[in-house]
Chain A
Amino acid sequence: MCGVCGVYSPAERPDGGLVTRMMGALSHRGPDGSGLFRDERVALGHTRLAIIDTAHGVQPMCNEDGRVWVTFNGEIFNYVELAAQLRDRGHTFRTHSDTEVIVHAWEEWGPGCFERFNGQWALAIWDRRTDRLVLSRDRFGVRPLYYTRAGRRLLFASEVKALYVDPAVSRALDPVGLDQVLTFWSVVAPRTVFAGVSQVPPGSYVVVEQGTETLHSYWEPTFPAAGAEPQQDLATNVEELREQVVEATRLRFLRSDVPVGAYLSGGIDSAVTASAIAAYTDAELHTFSLRFADDEFDEGGFQGLMAKRLGTVHRDIVVTERDIADVFPDVVWHAENPLLRTAPAPMFLLSRLVRDSGFKVVVTGEGSDEVLAGYDIFREAKVRAFWARDPESPSRARAVELLYPWMRRSPNQAPAFAKSFFGRNLDPGDPALSHRPRWDSTATLKSMLTPGARAEVSSADDLVAGMPAASASWDPLARAQWLEMTTLLPGYILASQGDRMLMGNSVEGRFPFLDRNVAALASRFPARQKILGLDEKHLLKRAFEDLLPREIVDRPKQPYRAPDAASFFAGGSPDWLDDVTSPGAVVDAGVFSPVIVDRLLDKCRRNGGRGISNTDNMRLVAILSVQLLHRQLVAGGRTALAEPPAPVAVFDSLDPTTPDVPSIDHYEVRT
């Protein structure tokens, strides 16, 4: 895992010093070294977290004649198989890295190579044969990739803070991006919350040539028409799912030249991946868990049960409310997104434990809830659809009682609230029936915005209008999965709570449930089997029930959460809070109404952050994160590292001493 950056500069020689400083801003993503390539039009930068072929995988890397260059963040897990195919077609390899496979795959297949990759990546290819720069991102958006314009130049980077190294890049928050976050909890690519900054959408690539950029899609989530799913037999589906998940996990555990650990959350997904490693490899397994001092959020009992069953070397970290408050500015700095929950903060502390334990790669269970239908929002949607068929039916209304048996403040304990919440907007023909309650409740946060921060858009309507035409024939669950895979998965789960919290401590996450083959198989399953009745992830449970304790298989899903307002007020506020929420700071940012901010802070102080409503918790975390985002990134209040990690390998074709035909031996190495 690494950081990538660069400049496309058609009118003047690219500034190597600028790209070197951009590399410095990405030091945390690749502390093991860095590299720079430059020619007349393009400069590519790279910071390296050395995982595969640690001795030879220096980047940027080129093909045999130096006419195709790549800077690459991620892993191509099927690189061994692809390299064999490419050797058969006459390509010569100088390293054993997956990076070199990308170069030759591009030569051989052009953009068709992306469909052949099974992995997680953000990369830039500079093809000097055609004068094209290509930016590409993996199917689900595991790895981030941003770009922006500064005059005729195009800059790209793994993180926005590297773009902001260039003083010519203007800095401002984007009202439309904010509107998306205050609807979906995340932006929707290519939009970001930063004005003028775009991100390469998942499953896409951008071609930059002659001063223009064009966006192309090579993959997007798709599903068969309802009732026409090709995989109808439940027993066969269970068997095939197990085979694919085991293989995906094995690939992600074994294809590394450094030790790989695994997360254990206490839920079924990480239990499956850790069990697959333990059952199908001989390696000693190290597992890592996140615990909370507050019992309401803690899953330590289930984590310990699983670790003991697997006989792993287990480590955990117990997070307090104060820990969350203290680390929150760093979390926002790395997330580069507004947050509505503090949940990313403990994940940042967990990856620190991993790094401090000597590991830099972990296998985790993310993606299972989206691919195999684990979220409560999917179950809610089924209940809402069931109810919508006859809204006056008392029997159908009772379906609400089947939801959320785990929740302390369950809607079951307040039937009137539950029926009001789930019974709103019951339009069976609404393609977004599943997500309306969440979007509507989140959108109430927009009332805090100043007029200048409001966008005259309807993010929800725009998203629904952009759904694939074929989705009209999909099962409602498939439509809900598409919405989740387009919004929260890439924009929050894999970003703010995933890549950014891992890479903040230089740790790579690997996600077997987002394997190309697992996802393709799961999309062919009938919706009724994914959630059987209201049993979420039913096929996964059946597939691995012999490897898991009944306590894990049978436990109701517990969404991962962390204490929100209480983290900032229960034990006294952290020093930074008054500073970023002062009336002057709120006016400077110009995003939220100072009166509303003041009123909410007073309320939280009075209650020590406890007994705060769900909406007020979201309001508070939104305010704090946006204020920090503005302070640190937009106003430039926090400076990224300027020096890239040593050693720095430089291939500067504008330097007359640089050979015409480069090889990996011709880098100038600066220490």
Chain B
Amino acid sequence: MSHDLRHRVGDENIALFGGDEDADLTAVRVAIYLEDALAITLPPRLLDAAHLGTPEALATTLDGLLGPA
């Protein structure tokens, strides 16, 4: 299941980054997507740029949520 979810998120997240808003707002955009895709509610500590604001941060966060790729 984790592999499927990771695959799904990997394919689809390409459109999430690259906006002109600040990184924390990008993190909110990513969080909206991620909660839809994984049917979860993210804990408050993850809703920031350090965890979701860049593709690299998202990858690390997904490792924590789904286990390493």
Residues of A within 8 A of B27 (CB): 395
Q: Which residue of A233, A235, A383, A533 contacts B33 across the interface (Cβ within 8 Å)?
A: A533
Q: Which residue of B32, B39, B47, B48 contacts A533 across the interface (Cβ within 8 Å)?
A: B32
Question: Do B37 and A528 touch (CB < 8 A)?
Answer: yes
CB of B16 within 8 A of chain A?
yes
Comparing A329-337, A398-406, A438-446, A480-488, the segment that makes contact with chain B is A398-406
CB of A96 within 8 A of chain B?
no
Interface centre among A233, A235, A533, A538 (most CB of B within 10 A): A533
Question: Do B47 and A532 touch (CB < 8 A)?
Answer: no
How far does the alpha carbon of A429 sit from the alpha carbon of B20 in the complex, in Å? 33
Question: Do B44 and A395 touch (CB < 8 A)?
Answer: yes
List 7 A-B pairs, minimum CB-CB distance, nearest first: A395-B47, A528-B36, A533-B33, A533-B29, A389-B41, A533-B16, A386-B32
CB of B8 within 8 A of chain A?
yes
Considering the complex, give the chain A residue whose CB is closest to the CB of B46: A395
- Contact bitstring A355-384, B, C-beta under 8 A = 1, else 0: 000000000000000000000000000110
How far does the alpha carbon of A303 sit from the alpha carbon of B33 in the complex, in Å? 32
Which residues, 1 to 24 on B, are CB-close (under 8 Å) to A?
8, 11-12, 15-16, 21, 24
CB of B25 within 8 A of chain A?
yes
Which residues, 375 to 428 on A, are CB-close (under 8 Å) to B?
382-383, 386, 389-390, 393, 395-396, 398-399, 401-402
Interface centre among B15, B32, B37, B39 (most CB of A within 10 A): B32
Inter-chain pairs besides A396-B28, A401-B25, A528-B12, 8 sampled, C-beta below 8 Å: A398-B25, A399-B32, A401-B21, A402-B25, A528-B33, A529-B12, A532-B12, A534-B29
Q: Could you name 13 residue pairs across A and B whose Cβ atoms are closer than 8 Å?
A: A227-B39, A234-B11, A235-B11, A386-B31, A390-B41, A393-B44, A395-B44, A396-B28, A398-B24, A398-B25, A529-B12, A532-B15, A535-B15
Which residues, 203 to 250 on A, are CB-close (under 8 Å) to B?
226-227, 232-235
Q: Which residue of B11, B16, B21, B47 contacts A393 across the interface (Cβ within 8 Å)?
A: B47
Interface centre among A398, A527, A535, A538 (most CB of B within 10 A): A398
Considering the complex, give the chain B residue whose CB is closest to the CB of A397: B28
Question: Do A232 and B12 touch (CB < 8 A)?
Answer: no
Q: Which residue of A396, A529, A533 contacts B30 across the interface (Cβ within 8 Å)?
A: A533
How far does the alpha carbon of A396 sit from the alpha carbon of B31 in the complex, in Å? 9
CB of B35 within 8 A of chain A?
yes
Residues of chain A having any CB pair with chain B under 8 Å: 226-227, 232-235, 382-383, 386, 389-390, 393, 395-396, 398-399, 401-402, 527-529, 532-535, 538
Given A389-B41, A528-B36, A529-B12, check contact A395 B29 (CB 8 Å): no
Residues of A within 8 A of B41 (CB): 389-390
Considering the complex, give the chain A residue whose CB is closest to the CB of B40: A389
Question: Do B44 and A390 touch (CB < 8 A)?
Answer: yes
Residues of B within 8 A of A534 (CB): 29, 32
Within the complex, the shortest CB–CB distance from B55 to chain A, in Å, comes to 13
Residues of B within 8 A of A234 (CB): 11-12
Question: Do A386 and B35 touch (CB < 8 A)?
Answer: yes
Residues of A within 8 A of B8 (CB): 232
Q: Which residue of A386, A527, A533 contacts B15 across the interface (Cβ within 8 Å)?
A: A533
Considering the complex, give the chain A residue whose CB is closest to the CB of B37: A528
Within the complex, the shortest CB–CB distance from B42 to chain A, in Å, comes to 9
Question: Do A402 and B21 touch (CB < 8 A)?
Answer: yes
Residues of A within 8 A of B47 (CB): 393, 395-396
Within the complex, the shortest CB–CB distance from B18 to chain A, in Å, comes to 10
Question: Do A402 and B28 touch (CB < 8 A)?
Answer: yes
How far does the alpha carbon of A399 sit from the alpha carbon of B31 in the complex, in Å? 10
Within the complex, the shortest CB–CB distance from A7 to chain B, in Å, comes to 53
Residues of A within 8 A of B37 (CB): 528
Residues of A within 8 A of B12 (CB): 234, 528-529, 532
Considering the complex, give the chain B residue whose CB is closest to the CB of A386: B32
Considering the complex, give the chain B residue whose CB is closest to the CB of A392: B44
Residues of A within 8 A of B35 (CB): 386, 389
Residues of A within 8 A of B29 (CB): 402, 533-534
How far does the alpha carbon of A401 sit from the alpha carbon of B25 in the complex, in Å? 8
How far does the alpha carbon of A132 sit from the alpha carbon of B23 in the complex, in Å? 66
Question: Do B48 and A395 touch (CB < 8 A)?
Answer: yes
Question: Do B32 and A395 touch (CB < 8 A)?
Answer: no
Within the complex, the shortest CB–CB distance from A578 to chain B, in Å, comes to 49
Question: Do A395 and B28 touch (CB < 8 A)?
Answer: yes
Within the complex, the shortest CB–CB distance from B19 to chain A, in Å, comes to 9
How far does the alpha carbon of A277 sit from the alpha carbon of B30 in the complex, in Å? 36
Within the complex, the shortest CB–CB distance from A87 to chain B, in Å, comes to 46
Given A227-B39, A528-B36, check contact A399 B28 (CB 8 Å): yes
Considering the complex, give the chain A residue whose CB is closest to the CB of B8: A232
Within the complex, the shortest CB–CB distance from B32 to chain A, in Å, comes to 5
How far does the alpha carbon of A329 sit from the alpha carbon of B61 in the complex, in Å? 59
How far does the alpha carbon of A307 sit from the alpha carbon of B9 in the complex, in Å? 37
How far does the alpha carbon of A647 sit from the alpha carbon of B39 in the complex, in Å? 63
Residues of B within 8 A of A233 (CB): 11
How far does the alpha carbon of A359 sit from the alpha carbon of B58 in the complex, in Å? 53
Within the complex, the shortest CB–CB distance from B20 to chain A, in Å, comes to 9
How far does the alpha carbon of A436 sit from the alpha carbon of B55 in the complex, in Å? 35
Residues of B within 8 A of A398 (CB): 24-25, 28
